[in-house]
Amino acid sequence: MSKVAVITGGASGIGQAAALRLAQEGVNIVVVDVDEESGNAAVEKIKEHGVDAIFIKADVSKKEDVKNYVDQTVEHFGTIDYFFNNAGISGSGGYFLDTEVEEIEKIVGINLLGALYGVRYVADVMVKNGGGAIVNTSSSAGVTGQDSVVTYSATKHALVGLTKSLVAEYAKDGLRVNAIAPGPTETKMVKEFYEANPKMKENATGGIPQKRLGTPEEVAELVTFLFTSNASYVNGEVIRIDGGFTNTK
């Protein structure tokens, strides 16, 4: 029977790249995103690989939306084998004391509460069904301190704690939970962030030993590995994929 993967933020960027790569492995896909038009377009691309795929619109900062995408997935596919807990936003790039409280609340709502809600409902399904694999999207800013992204960094550090603590509680129940920590990657979100903060792009690429940004497809390969049986004994890890960006930090 084909496996089923739920991917939040699956309409674009790393989420869509992972969806397409997993579809190549015969995995059925649930694309969860707030962008309905892009989400439906992603589903059509995914189906070209001969798998089943559906789109579910959700604002992950709302627990009702999260429970709904989990319930709809189980109703359609019967189970959830893989969960790519990936939806997130970066913020404006301003210094913390210049950041409006409303922006802080929005970033925390999507990046942290959205991730917590997702794991709460998805892991419940997985444990009841004998296990599953979760990959949380942290960041290079989740393993080092970085300026201009204090709230974002705080939420991404939190996902590292979420990853490790879930393993401590539920590995015995067949749950595998790992996190990825991508460096600057060529996604729409990163492009828009650097357009608004051009100096930060210069600083980032200058600090990457490979002297380029990563690609969503490169990150998707790592995600796919972590979801396959080849990674069956990899649990509680935070894997950096950043061209050496945080190697000396």
Longest dimension (CA), the chain: 52
Average pLDDT of the residues in 135-143:
97
Grade residue 234 by pLDDT with cuts at 50, 70 and 90.
very high
User: The tokens of 183 are what?
Assistant: 């460096």
Q: What pLDDT is stored for residue 211 in this prediction?
A: 85
The answer to whether residue 245 is domain-embedded is no
The answer to whether residue 140 is domain-embedded is yes
Grade residue 142 by pLDDT with cuts at 50, 70 and 90.
very high
The CATH number of the domain holding residue 77 is 3.40.50.720
Q: What pLDDT is stored for residue 6 in this prediction?
A: 99
Domain region containing 39: 4-240
Let me know: does 69 contact 4? Beta carbons within 8 Å. Answer: no
The answer to whether residue 246 is domain-embedded is no
The answer to whether residue 208 is domain-embedded is yes
Q: What pLDDT is stored for residue 28 in this prediction?
A: 98
Q: Per residue in 162-206, pLDDT tens? A: 999 999 999 999 999 999 999 988 887 777 777 776 766 666 667
Alpha-carbon gap, residue 126 to 119, rounded angstroms: 10
In terms of pLDDT, which residue wins out, 91 or 52?
A: 52
Q: What pLDDT is stored for residue 179 in this prediction?
A: 98
Grade residue 1 by pLDDT with cuts at 50, 70 and 90.
confident
Average pLDDT of the residues in 67-72:
98
Let me know: does 186 contact 215? Beta carbons within 8 Å. Answer: yes
The answer to whether residue 247 is domain-embedded is no
Domains in the chain: how many in total? 1
180 CB contacts (<8 Å, ≥6 apart)? Answer: 135, 136, 137, 138, 219, 222, 223, 226, 238, 239, 241
Residue of 146, 24, 125 lying closest to 71 (CA atoms): 125
The answer to whether residue 187 is domain-embedded is yes
Judged against a pLDDT cut of 80, whether residue 19 lies above it is answered with yes
Q: What pLDDT is stored for residue 200 in this prediction?
A: 66
Q: What pLDDT is stored for residue 192 in this prediction?
A: 75
In terms of pLDDT, which residue wins out, 210 or 126?
A: 126
CA angle 193, 218, 242 (to 5 degrees): 60
Which residues are the active-site residues?
152
Average pLDDT of the residues in 239-248:
90
Q: What pLDDT is stored for residue 78 in this prediction?
A: 98
The answer to whether residue 104 is domain-embedded is yes
Sequence letter at residue 43: V
The answer to whether residue 223 is domain-embedded is yes
Q: Per residue in 144-168, pLDDT tens? A: 998 889 999 999 999 999 999 999 9
Reading phi first (left if > 0) and then psi (alpha if -120 to 50, else beta), residue 217 is in alpha
Query: Considering the entire predicted model, what is its pTM?
Result: 0.94
Q: What pLDDT is stored for residue 247 in this prediction?
A: 84
